[in-house]
Amino acid sequence: MDEVKVEIKVMIVEDHEIFRTGLRRALEMETDLKIVAEAGDGEEAVMLADEFALDVILMDINLPRINGLQATRLIKAKHPEIGVIVLTAYHDDEQLLHALRAGAAAYYPKEVSPLTLISTVREVSAGGYVIGDVVMDWPQVARWLLHQFKELGAVGETPQQIEPFQPLTDREMEILRCVARGLSNKEIAKFLDISQQTVKNHMTAILRKLAVNDRTQAAVTAIQKGWIRPQDT
């Protein structure tokens, strides 16, 4: 008797149409994977997660409206059964930690091979976590995270006490987007209808939270972490 394949329902969340099309074509080659939804920004992804019965989401970090880590956190809060694979153009260990804390089950740079990604979709659909090339269950991931927190000097702190994936307020993010577009404090104040002193106060808080020395470093950090899209600068 032939084995019946379980159909894995997938949503692709990516704002670049060419890359989204490439992902779709790679996954459509597999008979057990079905693309049931696509989204071009984080808010749409959250909405579609409520509408479709999904097994796995391929989630870009660098998205319009709300970023992929925020969308992941919102989706996992309501749909813990959905496995999220985060894809990023800016790979670093710190962002990997943030992705896992947001609820992701796997994390890859966008140059990941189709074969690896397809294999990971299946592992995540079955409830697994994939870190690097290692498939883990949740207790193993928890131990790995604890080790990473210690390596980062966060001994004595719980994960909830460590700085969240986007430590800035909505207003600070508005100001940082303006900075990334090259606006001066005066121009930002006029654009947001607030005083220049308020802008300065927010900039001081932004530099402190991001542990950088100037506006340019703050903007670059936000772009690298996917909080601001390069094309919006």
Mean pLDDT within 189-193: 92
Banded pLDDT at 152 (limits 50, 70, 90): low
pLDDT at residue 155 in the model: 40
Task: Examine the pLDDT at 222 and tell me if it is beyond 50.
Answer: yes
Q: pLDDT confidence of 160, banded at 50, 70, 90?
A: very low
Return mean pLDDT, the chain.
Answer: 83
Point out the least confidently predicted range of 31-35, 67-71, 188-192, 208-212. 208-212
User: Do residues 189 and 145 both lie within one domain?
Assistant: no
Question: How far is it, in rounded angstroms, from Cα 129 to Cα 198?
Answer: 44
pLDDT value, residue 162:
40
Number of domains making up the chain: 2
* 45, pLDDT greater than 60: yes
Higher pLDDT, 166 or 37: 37
Residue 194: pLDDT band (50, 70, 90) is very high
HSE on the CB side for 190, CA within 13 Å?
Answer: 5
Do 208 and 118 lie in a common domain? no
Overall size of the chain counted in residues: 233
pTM score, whole prediction: 0.67
Kindly state whether residue 159 falls inside one of the protein's structural domains.
no
Higher local confidence (pLDDT), 158 or 173: 173
pLDDT above 90 coverage of the chain, percent: 38
CATH code of the domain covering residue 50? 3.40.50.2300
Residues 6+ apart with CB under 8 A from 98: 69, 164, 165, 225
Query: Is 192 domain-assigned?
Result: yes
| Percentage of residues in the chain having pLDDT higher than 70 | 85
User: Average of pLDDT values for 131-139?
Assistant: 78
Given a cut of 70, whether residue 149 has pLDDT beyond it is no
Which domain, by its residues, includes 138? Answer: 8-151
Looking at the structure, do residues 193 and 101 belong to the same domain, yes or no?
no
How far is Cα of residue 79 from the mean position of the Cα atoms in its chain? 16
Kindly state whether residues 57 and 121 are assigned to the same domain: yes
In whole angstroms, give the CA distance from residue 59 to residue 71.
9
Mean pLDDT is highest, among 113-122, 158-167, 224-233, for 113-122
What is residue 157's predicted lDDT score, i.e. its pLDDT?
43
- Between 34 and 221, the more confident residue is 34
Q: Which residues contact 188 (CB under 8 A, 6 or more apart)?
A: 175, 178, 179, 199
Q: Do 65 and 180 share a domain, yes or no?
A: no
